[in-house]
Every structure is written in structure tokens, then in C-alpha cells.
Amino acid sequence: MSNFLSQESLSGDPKDPPEHIADASGISDTFHDNELESLRQMLFARELALLEEVARNQEAKKFNIERVSDVLAESIILRAEKDRQLNIALEPVVDDILKASLNRRKNDFVNLLFPLIGPVVRKSITETFFSMLGNVSQSLEVAFSWRGLQWRFESWRSGKPFNEIVLLHTVVYRVEQVFFIHSETGLLLSHVVSEEVPVQDADMVSAMLTAIQDFVKDSFSGSQDDSLHSLRIGDISLIIEKNDVAYVACVVRGTLPANFRIFLQDSFDMMLVKYAKPLADFSGDTAPFVTAVRYLEPLLLSRHAEEERAIPLWAKIIPVVCLFVILCWGGYVGYTTFTRNALLKDAVLSLKGYPGIIVTNVTEHTDRPWEVLTFKDALAPQPEDILQSKGFSSALLDFKTVPFISYDVSIIVRRVKNAISPPDTVSIALNQNGTLVLSGTAPMNWILHARDVAKSLPGIKHVDVSGLYDPLLEQVMGLVENINRTCIQFPLGKAVPVGNELVKLEEAIDNLVQLENIARKNNLAVSLSIYGHADSVGSEKRNYEVSQARAKTVAAGLYARGSSILISLYGMGSTFSKSCSLEKVHLGDQASRKIELRVSLSRAVSADSFFESK
């Protein structure tokens, strides 16, 4: 301040000479600059230091830029050889540069790319065409080769789809899907899938995967830091690399190489560094993670099985020849077995419908004759004879027979024929109701014999002989009818007839003798019953004696002719006769004084009943 005052006093004196004024001004200016510099140092010392630091940095930067420019190209090459982090770091920058340049200079890029578009398109079409041919060739090889047929058989046997079997044999391993998921919310941040794999709902898969991890952690883990690292279902594996903020899950088919998890960890670490801020501030918006695909796509690794080396021609021919021989032998064995079984079944069927034989059980054998259990009637032929008659060998079947009585119509008729031995003039038929019908001509003694025997045979309920006819039957019938119709009357109280009645008695005796002769020729015996009657006149005792005497009169006349007929005498007294009506019983007239004759044949068969059946 004193300086400024002294300056004013010196400069304000008008009486000083000019020289003195000039010297004073120079001294004052120097002093003034020093004061200002001191004041500037006091007020702006910090700022001045910063400016000096900036100046030094600028000088150092220029120097460092020159040094870096000398080694920049080599540094980029060395870094690129180590890993892909340099590419990942430069990719968004290059993308932005290209987009900005394309927007500003579209025509330049069009002119630049136009000469390349044609060759690129042609090359793309060529590559696509050859790829399509390769796929078609591979598909045909898989579909129609021996290996493809084996795989199809394996698919049919196991019930798995054919495509899955092909993948199982041709793919060593394949990463089919990769999920980038937020740990806390379970939301899907990014997702990539292999081209050969059908696309699924990735959001649902990520949510379910997070739920499974939480379940495993809550149920089986003892520490909160533990987590699920892998999961296997069939030939599908799930590889998980997890952090507190996010995790990556890879769906793998097959067996991955051992270094895959290291590769997965490196990629996951780069993603955590790249998206550290979006993950820390994540609130549900997945837009910042769209570019995460470039980290996930390199994880879609795959490796197919190497093609088998060429097989020599002889090695291919021998299995084919062996297979052909086996098929021929199998076909021959199958054909012979089939024809043999068909022949045996036909042989068994031929027995099943044969009368008198019932097939109850058949035991099949492959190396020996079938065992057949049958029920056989004694009148049925042997099963072996039946087979031979139908053109089959009797050695095909081994029979075990159990006797039984058959009720088949043909067997019953055969049984009847064996029992009664019918003559050629007699025909035999059996009705459905079990009635045996005999018709034709035969001797009467055979007719009676056949009727009696047939009734006792199994399967016969009734015997109808009304169709049988004996040539002597009419003569016998006439004699029997005449004898049974004879009614000889006697005088009152007499035992010997008189007049015409005596003639009737002689005729009756002649008929009896003639009937006896016919019966003897036919091995039949004749028996005679004589019934003597009297009227009601006189005492009962007297009437009985008279009726008895009248019967004896007829018997005496028959014996006098040399007859051997068995005679039965019945004195009926005054009782009414068999042919007398009730109105004439008590009349006491001539009609009551008589005798009646009844003829019977042997075998305890009444002639009346026989003729009634006719």
C-alpha cells in the first residue's frame, strides 16, 4: 500500500524534472511486478501446481504415445494369440464404427461390396447345394445301410425314437442349449440353441431349473454356499456354472471332454466382467444382455463319431453269406415245422368228426409224434386205420384210447346189426327220438328175436317192427284169428257138442294142428288156453263141473290127433265169457253154454299183443 502511495506522490509532483521522473517509473514497475507475483502465488498456488502437473502429463503422454505406437501392432498380435478377450472388447467398438460409417457413406459401401456379392452368392448356393447333397447322402446311408437297419431294430426293440438312436451312435457329445440366467429372480437373460435341436420355451426351462436348484439346496445342502453343479437324465446332462448374481447352464448330450468346464468358467468370467453393472442393477430388463449371445454361442460345441475305416470286401461277403445260410436254414426249418404241424392238425381234425371216436386231448411235440387221447367205441375202427385210409401216416400220432359206448347214430345202427344179424331183405333206420324202425321181409321167429334183443341195446328206446313182413305171417294170422274166433256151443248140461257145433270143433282142432306144424318149422312153440262156460241154470258147483268137462272135451280131441300143444284148461262156471256182453250174462240161453280158445306163441309173447302192435 505504501508502494502505491509512494508511487502516487512521486508521480504527482509537477515540479520534478523529466529525468527524475523516468528513473522513478522504472523502479516502480519492477516493484509492482514482484508484488503481483507474490500475490498471485498466495492466491493461486494450488491451481498453478495443477497446471504444471497437467503440462508435465501432456509431455509424458506425447512421449508414451510415441512409445506405444512403436509396439502397438505386436501387442495386438500377442494378445489375440492368448484368448478372445481382445476380440470381445473390440467387437462392440467395431460394430459402432461400422454402423456409423454405413449410415454416413452407404454408397461407398455399396460400391465396395457390389463386386463381392456375386461370388459370395454363388459360393453360398454351391455350399448349400453340396451340404444338401451331403445330408441326403447321409440320410440314405442311415436309412438303407446295414448300420441303419441295426439302429432301426434297436429303436423298435427299445421303444426310443429313431433320431435319438442315431444321435446316440453318431454324436460323441453335443451342447444343445446354453442358458444365461439371473440367480436371484431366475429370469432368462440370454439363450442360444443348436440348429438341430427343436426350440423349447426357454423362459419356462430357466424358471424350472432355478426351482430345481432351490429345491436341492433347501432339501439336501447343509450350507448356503453349496449349489447344484450338474444333473443327468438318461444321456442328457446339465452342466451348471454359478455365481451369486447369475449362472450359466449347458444342456449336453453325450460325454463332454474334461476341459469343457474350464472353457465354460472362462467364458462365464468374461460375461461377469462385461455385464457387472447390468447384473448389479438388474430389475427385470434383459435388454442389456442381448449381446451376451456372442459369449454363449462358442459354447455350442459338438463332436461326431469318426467314420469307421473301410471294411475289406471279404469281410463284408462272409457275414452276408453266413446270414443267407442262416436265413435259408431257418426258412427250411420253419417251413418243415409249419408243414408238419399243419399235417398233424389235419390228421387230428380227420379224427374229430369220425363216428365212435372223441378226441379229448392233444399234446404237441416237436421231436416226436403228438400224443392223442381219445374215447373209442368198440365198434369204431382203430385211429391208425382211419389215418391210413385218409392218406396219413400212422406214425404221426401216438394214440391212447379209453373205451366208451358211443351214441352216434351210425354206431347204434352198427351195434343193432351185430346183435340181431338182419337178413338182406331187412332195412334198419334210427329216428331222432331213439326209435328203431325195422322194415322188409323176414321170418317171424327172427322178427320176435330182433324185437326182444334190440330193446336191450344202448341208444334204443323203442322198436318198431310194423314194417316187417313174413310170407307165412298171413297164414299164421288167419289160423290164429280163426282159432281165437271159434265159439263152440253145447246142449244144456252136456259136455259134448252136437250137430254143427261138433263140426266147428273138428275145424278148430285141424287149425290148431296146422298152426303147430308151422310153428315147429319156425322154431316156435304154441300154447293153447281153453275156457269152458255154462249158463246160470243150476248150482254153481254143477255149472263149474260142466264148464270144466266141456274144456276137457276139446283137449281130448286135440290130443287124439297127436298134438303136443301145451294146453291150459279153465272151467269158468256160469261167469260170462270174454266175448259175451253184459246184457246176456244172466239170460241163461244157448250162447252161455260154450267154450273159447286162445292161442299163444312161445317167448312169452302173446299173439294178440303181437298182432295189436301191427
From the list 584, 490, 488, the residue with the least C-alpha distance to 536 is 584
pLDDT tens-place string over residues 116-141: 676 767 766 766 665 565 555 556 55
pLDDT score at 225? 60
Which residue reads 386231448 in cell numbers? 361
Query: Regarding predicted confidence, which is higher, 25 or 163?
Result: 163
> 239 and 156 in one domain?
yes
Asked if 200 and 179 count as a contact pair (C-beta separation under 8 A), the reply is no
Please say if the pLDDT value at position 294 is more than 80: yes
> 283 and 357 in one domain?
no
Mean of all residue pLDDT scores within the chain: 75
Number of domains in the chain: 5
> 453 and 338 in one domain?
no
> 448 and 341 in one domain?
no
Query: Regarding predicted confidence, which is higher, 484 or 584?
Result: 484
Q: With respect to residue 609, please indicate whether it lies within any of the assigned structural domains.
A: yes
Domain edge (last residue) among 269, 304, 339: 304
And the C-alpha cell for 534? Answer: 255154462
Domain edge (last residue) among 452, 469, 486: 469
pLDDT score at 250? 92
Query: Regarding predicted confidence, which is higher, 487 or 135?
Result: 487
> 583 and 462 in one domain?
no
How far apart are alpha carbons 370 and 386 in whole angstroms? 16
Q: With respect to residue 298, please indicate whether it lies within any of the assigned structural domains.
A: yes
> 491 and 465 in one domain?
no
Query: Regarding predicted confidence, which is higher, 567 or 305?
Result: 567
pLDDT score at 603? 55
Q: With respect to residue 359, please indicate whether it lies within any of the assigned structural domains.
A: yes
Helices 500-521, 473-485: axis angle to 10 degrees equals 150
> 459 and 444 in one domain?
yes
pLDDT score at 9? 37
Give the CATH number of the domain where residue 438 resides. 3.30.1340
pLDDT score at 415? 86
Please say if the pLDDT value at position 10 is more than 50: no
Q: With respect to residue 269, please indicate whether it lies within any of the assigned structural domains.
A: yes
Most confident of 127-136, 201-210, 407-416: 407-416
Strand (E) or helix (H) holding 437: strand 435-441
Domain boundaries, position 600: 473-613
- Lowest-pLDDT range, 243-257, 277-291, 516-530? 516-530
pLDDT score at 553? 81
Q: With respect to residue 314, please indicate whether it lies within any of the assigned structural domains.
A: no
> 483 and 439 in one domain?
no
> 260 and 344 in one domain?
no
pLDDT score at 6? 39
User: Residues of the chain with pLDDT > 70: what percent?
Assistant: 77
> 258 and 187 in one domain?
yes
Note the pTM of the prediction, 2 decimals. 0.34
> 437 and 356 in one domain?
no
Q: pLDDT class for 162, splitting at 50, 70, 90?
A: low
Give the CATH number of the domain where residue 291 resides. 3.30.450.70
pLDDT score at 248? 92
pLDDT score at 180? 92
Q: With respect to residue 249, please indicate whether it lies within any of the assigned structural domains.
A: yes
- The whole-number average pLDDT for the span 149-171 is 69
Q: With respect to residue 452, please indicate whether it lies within any of the assigned structural domains.
A: yes
Most confident of 159-173, 343-357, 444-458: 444-458
Q: With respect to residue 29, please indicate whether it lies within any of the assigned structural domains.
A: no
> 157 and 119 in one domain?
no
Query: Regarding predicted confidence, which is higher, 214 or 181?
Result: 181
How far apart are alpha carbons 515 and 537 in whole angstroms? 36
